[in-house]
């Protein structure tokens, strides 16, 4: 009888221990679920902040018809940071057509564009190798330096051609942080049919398309555009030919140029109770009072 009571007591203790473990497991799962729910709610709130700022940027693009940028070259939203109910949201609009579009290198007329990029990079004192590395990566098919990508961790199997996100440039073999900084001063990634906005492009980029003019002459061509932007490509050509002489139209691919920006990138960030999120959105600004079209958006939650 005593042995039976001991056996029953042992079983009871085992059952109690099992129930305690089950209770701990349930509580842990409940807490994990609560944390996941809280994180999901925070992510949703951050998304709403970014959605609101994105809508604000779309309205600004629809209403503003100017082509003139601020002195540092970025076409900025007036309000840089907005206080929300429990956090903040801020952002910058960038006229991507003020820089050389690297996706032009993936087109059939890439050789001429390689020369333009080479001159633009030389103007900002980039290493001569940068243009070769970028051109190899952007050309359709397997890059000529494909073996260099085996040194990546993990190794990459590169495929050349068009790119979308600026972060993809970090995967080009052989480029250093300094190279990427120089590249960002004169180049960007935009849809391949984008044009160079001569009312916002830097002197270095415009000069790269006009190798027969000195930088001082190009600066003279562009000197009055902030007060009186070029209203047409013909007006721009007329100003250039005042300095260079006639015949420019036979040497220049006029389809590369525009007097009004169509593609803009929004870089926005939001914070909420110690959490943060970032978003990049590419807009296509259209006429006739239409809302800009969203070509793509990428949201990151660090």
pLDDT score for 255: 84
Instruction: Give how far Cα 64 sits from Cα of 102, 149, 178, Å.
Output: 27, 44, 35
CA distances 108 to 112, 113, 118, 161, 268, Å, are: 10, 10, 18, 11, 34
Q: Across residues 104-127, what is the average pLDDT?
A: 87
For the chain, give every domain's residue range.
Answer: 2-97+262-300, 102-189+202-254
The C-alpha atoms of residue 80 and residue 216 are separated, in whole angstroms, by 34
Q: How many CB atoms lie within 10 A of CB 191?
A: 17
pLDDT band (50, 70, 90) for residue 31: very low
Residue 32: pLDDT over 50:
no
pTM, two decimal places? 0.78
Q: Does domain 2-97+262-300 have CATH number 3.30.1300.30?
A: yes
**pLDDT score at 56:** 87
Q: What is the pLDDT of residues 242-292, one digit of tens each?
A: 887 765 555 677 888 999 889 999 999 999 988 999 999 999 998 777 889
How many other CB atoms are found less than 10 A from the CB of residue 171? 13
């Amino acid at each position: 009888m005593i042995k039976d009571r001991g056996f029953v007591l042992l079983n009871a203790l085992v059952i109690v221990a099992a129930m305690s473990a089950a209770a701990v497991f349930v509580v842990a799962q409940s807490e994990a679920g609560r944390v996941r729910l809280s994180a999901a709610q925070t992510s949703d709130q951050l998304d709403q902040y970014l959605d609101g700022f994105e809508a604000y940027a779309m309205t600004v693009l629809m209403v503003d018809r100017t082509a003139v940028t601020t002195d540092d070259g970025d076409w900025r939203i007036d309000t840089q940071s907005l206080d929300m109910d429990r956090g903040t949201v801020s952002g910058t609009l960038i006229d991507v057509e003020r820089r050389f579009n690297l996706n032009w290198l993936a087109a059939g007329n890439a050789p001429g564009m390689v020369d333009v990029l080479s001159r633009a990079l030389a103007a900002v004192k980039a290493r001569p190798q940068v243009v070769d590395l970028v051109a190899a990566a952007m050309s359709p098919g397997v890059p000529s330096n494909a073996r260099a990508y085996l040194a990546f961790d993990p190794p990459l199997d590169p495929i050349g051609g068009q790119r979308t996100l600026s972060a993809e440039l970090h995967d080009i073999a052989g480029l250093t942080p300094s190279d990427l900084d120089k590249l960002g001063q004169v180049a960007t990634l935009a849809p391949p049919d984008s044009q160079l906005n001569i009312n916002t492009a830097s002197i270095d980029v415009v000069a790269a398309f006009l190798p027969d003019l000195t930088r001082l002459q190009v600066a003279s061509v562009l000197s009055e555009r902030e007060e009186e932007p070029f209203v047409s490509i013909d007006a721009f050509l007329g100003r250039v030919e005042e300095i260079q002489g006639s015949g420019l139209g036979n040497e220049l691919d006029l389809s590369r140029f525009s007097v009004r920006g169509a593609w803009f990138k929004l870089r926005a960030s939001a914070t909420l109770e110690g959490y943060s999120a970032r978003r990049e959105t590419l807009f296509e600004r259209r006429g006739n009072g239409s809302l800009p079209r969203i070509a793509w958006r990428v949201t990151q939650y660090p």
